[in-house]
A and B are shown apart, each in its own frame.
Chain A
Amino acid sequence: MALVMVSPVAFAGPEEDRQAFTAFFKSRFPEIPFEEFANGIYAIDQDAREQWQEIETFPPYEFTIDEGRELWAQEFPDGKTYADCFADSETGVRQFYPRFDPDSGEVQTVATAINQCRENHGAERLKFGGDEIVALSAYMSFVSRGQPIFINVPVDEPSARAAYEEGKRFYFTKRGQLNLSCADCHVVSVGQHIRSDRLSASLGHPTHFPVYRSKTGGMVTLHQRFSGCVRDVGAKPFDLQSREFRNLEYFLTYMSNGLDINGPGARK
């Protein structure tokens, strides 16, 4: 009985999922080149794009990048720095996150990796969504600008695949009082108006975070954005960096493999 109900598609491999995912957006927006999806809604909405470009000429997140650069160079109590945890290459490491961490058996994001690094070197963990961790991840995105996302779901790690599948399930599951899934807005209704906003494509969603949002006049992380979306459909959000959100990020970022990191970004 259960076997009959399981659609084979739901268990297609990550790479087949990704190809189907990108093919959908390619057929929905044949005029938009693949790499443009890294620009989120501004790949689709021209009037908004001009305002965005104007703000990107001198974006308010520049202060945050500076702060992150300073924090990156600070020494931990044992004299080490972040560079000892992350490869201190010119192209950064943002494009490789989230990644499956065999030690913990869980998905590690930039934020959890930052805290892991601090813990390993005798520094206190930072509060997720707090100024310092956001500045650090903004700086790390900045360093990785132009690097294509390269997320791996190792085939020899069943837990990695399970985490990916859990993220995929989250993405396609309707939730909340409005009974909407991520895919309902950002795949099925992509480009449609929701009041005065247009719905962005999920392809490219993770490339540009954290973002400076005009609405709040501050930085917003991907998980804060997840939280906002879950709230918007009338469901109780999960915690920042919860297993649910990390797995969702794993799936969503895998779907954007090959797109360039272009964070941090400015958003309305």
Chain B
Amino acid sequence: MQKTKRLFLKGSMALLALASLPRALLAAVWPKESFDSTSASGALKALLGTDVTTPSEQIKMKVPEIAENGAVVPVSITTNLENVESISIVVPKNPRPLAASFEIPTGTLPKVSCRIKMGETSDVMAVVKTGSGIFSASREVKVTIGGCGG
């Protein structure tokens, strides 16, 4: 179903050998530049080489309309797109918009879920890189000031 894909980042082995990380982690490099970027556009450019994405209805996101708590916002992303190489979560209004990025090797389903922090109401973007392009979907999550927690 899925084809072989290139390494997430070329030369990562050498970099990691220098960083002397544990053996189990000699696999990929943490994309520091993208994570440090303070704009969604900058983060995407650093991560994927471009901030241009094609909106796709084949990306399904599950996020709350109103976050119960901005500190723990459940996000699930799945897609019917083929040859998925990575899925990233971008929250444009967070101080550092790239929240997480998942590398999907052949055989792994394009289906991830995690819990993220959001500082304020913002879109949450799912950015999916496939063998044929970069696609995205977006959903707004409202973050409000709580009363007293129910």
Contact = CB atoms under 8 A, between A and B. Distances in A.
Contacts of A214: 68-69, 71-72
B72 A47 contact: no
Interface in A7-53: 40-41, 47-48, 50-52
Interface string A211-239: 00111010000000000110010000000
Contacts of B67: 51
B25 to A, nearest CB: 23
Give the most central of B67, B68, B145: most A CB within 10 Å: B68
Given A50-B64, A52-B68, A196 B145 contact: yes
Nearest to B72: A214
Contacts of A155: none
B115 interface: yes
What range describes how many residues of B lie at the interface? 20 to 34
B148 A47 contact: no
A198 interface: yes
Given A54-B74, A55-B74, A47 B150 contact: no
What range describes how many residues of A lie at the interface? 20 to 34
Contacts, number: 64
B71 A47 contact: no
A198 B150 CA distance: 6
A213 B145 CA distance: 15
B141 to A, nearest CB: 10
Interface in A152-195: 193-195
B107 interface: no
Contacts of B149: 197, 213, 215, 228, 267-268
Contacts of A200: 150
Interface in B56-83: 64-69, 71-74, 76
Interface of B: 64-69, 71-74, 76, 113, 115, 144-150
Interface of A: 40-41, 47-48, 50-52, 54-55, 193-200, 213-215, 217, 228-229, 232, 267-268
